Each structure stands twice: as structure tokens, then as C-alpha cells.
């Protein structure tokens, strides 16, 4: 089983850091966990698409899921450091 490691910066915008923000933390997922997380994000994106509209309350959530999925996929293609 291969581990996938990525560093995600959770701070948004240029304002002060949020009290619950996690910055520059590393998360390691094995292949099974990676598959589950990406499947869950894809499922949520599909759910958001089903209710999509100009004033959709799911639009921001969909964008966040897309961004996270993109980061996860990019990290899985990065060279691994042992």
C-alpha cells in the first residue's frame, strides 16, 4: 500500500488567520483512504450539481470540493520524499 502525502495551506484571503484554521499541515493517506476521500468529494460535487443554479446555496461548497479534489490529485502526482 502506498502513502500519499500533501501539504495544504488552509488560510484564506489576506485577513488575519482564523482561530480554527490549519496552515501548512501534512496529511498522509494510503491508497484506500485516498480513494475514499476522492470518491466522497466527487459524490458531493455531483450532489451540488443536481441543485445547481445561479443562486444555489451549494455553489460555494462545490467550488471548495473542486479545489480540494484538484489539490489531492496534484499531490498524488508529486514525487514522494521518504
DSSP bridge partners of 27: 6
Contact predicate 25/7, CB 8 Å? yes
What digits encode the pLDDT tens for the residues 39-81? 999 999 998 888 776 567 788 888 999 999 999 998 887 655 5
d(CA 45, CA 41): 6
C-alpha cell at 82: 521518504
Delimit the domains of the chain by residue range. Answer: 3-77
DSSP bridge partners of 39: none
24-51 mean pLDDT: 89
Please give the backbone phi and psi of residue 73, each rounded to the nearest 5 degrees, phi first.
-65, -40
- Identify the residue with better confidence: 51 or 33: 33
Q: What is the pLDDT at residue 68?
A: 93
pTM of the model: 0.64
Q: What is the pLDDT at residue 27?
A: 83
Q: What is the pLDDT at residue 26?
A: 81
Amino acid at each position: 500500500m502506498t502513502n500519499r502525502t500533501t501539504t495544504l495551506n488552509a488560510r484564506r484571503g489576506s485577513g488575519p488567520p482564523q482561530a480554527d484554521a490549519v496552515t501548512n499541515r501534512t496529511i498522509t493517506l494510503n491508497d484506500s483512504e485516498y480513494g475514499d476521500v476522492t470518491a466522497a468529494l466527487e459524490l458531493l460535487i455531483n450532489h451540488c450539481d443536481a441543485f445547481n443554479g445561479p443562486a444555489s446555496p451549494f455553489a460555494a461548497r462545490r467550488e471548495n470540493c473542486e479545489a480540494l479534489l484538484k489539490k489531492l490529485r496534484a499531490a498524488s502526482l508529486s514525487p514522494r520524499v521518504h
